[in-house]
Structure 1
Amino acid sequence: MRGVIFFRGRAYRLTWITTPRAALIMMPQTQETKMSFRDILAVVTSQAANEHVIAFANQLASQTKGRVTAAVVNWEPNFTPAEGWALDPLYGQLLVDARNQLASEADKLKTRLAREEAPSSVEPYLLDIGAAGVAVGMRARHADVSIVARPTQAHMESGQAILDAVLFEAGRPVIFVPPEWKPGKIGRRILVAWKPTREAARALADADAFIGSAESVSIVTVDGKPSRGYGEQPGADIAAHLAYRGAKAELFNLASGGRSESEAIMSQAVSLGADLVVMGGYGRSRMSEFIFGGVTRGMLRHATVPVLMSH
Structure 2
Amino acid sequence: MSYKSLLTVLTNPQFAGPTLSQLVALASAQDAHAEALCLGVDRTQTGYYYAGANAMILQETLSRANAEATEMLEAAKDILGKSGVRWSAEEGVAQIADLGRHVAHRARFSDLVVLPRPYGETRGAEVEPIVEAAMFEGHAPVLIVPDDRPPLAKPSTILVAWNESVEAMRAIRMALPFLKQAETVRIVVIDPPQHGPDRSDPGGLLSQMLSRHGVRCEIDVLSKTMPRVSEILNRHAVDTSADMIVMGAYGHSRFREAILGGATRNMLEQAEVPIFMAH
What TM bracket, shorter-length normalisation? over 0.9
Q: Give the whole-Å Cα distance in 1 for the aligned partners of 2:56 and 2:101.
A: 28
Task: Tell me by how many angstroms 1:228 deviates.
Answer: 3.3
**Alignment-derived partner of residue 82 in structure 1:** 50
Percent of aligned pairs with the same amino acid: 30
Helix, strand or coil: the match of 1:109? helix
Task: Tell me by how many angstroms 1:240 deviates.
Answer: 1.8
Matched, 1:212 2:180: yes
Task: Tell me by how many angstroms 1:309 deviates.
Answer: 0.3
**Alignment-derived partner of residue 248 in structure 1:** 216
Question: What do residues 237-274 of structure 1 show as CA deviations (whole Å, max 9, x unaligned)?
Answer: 21122123322110001112133100101111111111
**Alignment-derived partner of residue 17 in structure 1:** none
Equivalent of 1:126, from 89, 93, 102? 93
Tell me whether 287-296 or 197-206 shows the greater mean CA deviation. 287-296
Q: Give the whole-Å Cα distance in 2 for the aligned partners of 1:185 and 1:143.
A: 18
Task: Tell me by how many angstroms 1:216 deviates.
Answer: 0.5
Asked if structure 2 preserves the Cα contact closer than 8 Å seen for 1:203 and 1:279, the reply is yes
Distance 1:206 1:81, change over 3 A: same
- The two structures have a TM-score, normalised by structure 1, of 0.84
Question: What do residues 192-211 of structure 1 show as CA deviations (whole Å, max 9, x unaligned)?
Answer: 01111110010000011111
Q: Give the whole-Å Cα distance in 2 for the aligned partners of 1:229 and 1:106.
A: 52
Asked if structure 1 preserves the Cα contact closer than 8 Å seen for 2:10 and 2:72, the reply is no
Bigger helix fraction = 2
Asked if structure 2 preserves the Cα contact closer than 8 Å seen for 1:196 and 1:230, the reply is no
Q: Give the whole-Å Cα distance in 1 for the aligned partners of 2:112 and 2:7.
A: 6
Matched, 1:41 2:31: no
Question: What do residues 272-309 of structure 1 show as CA deviations (whole Å, max 9, x unaligned)?
Answer: 11111111000110111123221111101101110110
Tell me whether 203-212 or 158-167 shows the greater mean CA deviation. 158-167
**Alignment-derived partner of residue 203 in structure 2:** 235
Q: Specify the code of the residue in structure 1 equivalent to 2:157.
A: R
**Alignment-derived partner of residue 56 in structure 1:** 22
- The two structures have a TM-score, normalised by structure 2, of 0.93
Matched, 1:140 2:140: no
Distance 1:171 1:189, change over 3 A: same
Question: What do residues 209-241 of structure 1 show as CA deviations (whole Å, max 9, x unaligned)?
Answer: 111121110000112223436442321221122
Asked if structure 1 preserves the Cα contact closer than 8 Å seen for 2:13 and 2:71, the reply is no
Question: What do residues 71-120 of structure 1 show as CA deviations (whole Å, max 9, x unaligned)?
Answer: 11221140443226x51233223212322332232122212221101011
Q: Give the whole-Å Cα distance in 2 for the aligned partners of 1:227 and 1:52.
A: 45
Equivalent of 2:136, from 147, 151, 168? 168
CA-atom RMSD in angstroms:
1.7
Equivalent of 1:276, from 234, 244, 252? 244
Q: Give the whole-Å Cα distance in 1 for the aligned partners of 2:203 and 2:167.
A: 15
Asked if structure 1 preserves the Cα contact closer than 8 Å seen for 2:40 and 2:67, the reply is no
Asked if structure 2 preserves the Cα contact closer than 8 Å seen for 1:225 and 1:233, the reply is no
Q: Give the whole-Å Cα distance in 2 for the aligned partners of 1:93 and 1:45.
A: 17
Q: Give the whole-Å Cα distance in 1 for the aligned partners of 2:149 and 2:200.
A: 37
Number of residue pairs matched by the alignment: 276
Q: Give the whole-Å Cα distance in 2 for the aligned partners of 1:300 and 1:233.
A: 30
Matched, 1:109 2:76: yes
Residue ranges of structure 2 left out of the alignment (5+ in a row): none
Q: Give the whole-Å Cα distance in 2 for the aligned partners of 1:226 and 1:156.
A: 43
Asked if structure 1 preserves the Cα contact closer than 8 Å seen for 2:187 and 2:207, the reply is yes
Question: What do residues 163-187 of structure 1 show as CA deviations (whole Å, max 9, x unaligned)?
Answer: 1111211111110111132234332
Asked if structure 1 preserves the Cα contact closer than 8 Å seen for 2:16 and 2:75, the reply is no
**Alignment-derived partner of residue 299 in structure 1:** 267
Asked if structure 2 preserves the Cα contact closer than 8 Å seen for 1:194 and 1:220, the reply is yes
Equivalent of 1:100, from 62, 67, 75? 67
Asked if structure 2 preserves the Cα contact closer than 8 Å seen for 1:130 and 1:161, the reply is no
Q: Specify the code of the residue in structure 2 equivalent to 1:297.
A: R
Distance 1:63 1:38, change over 3 A: same
Helix, strand or coil: the match of 2:232? helix
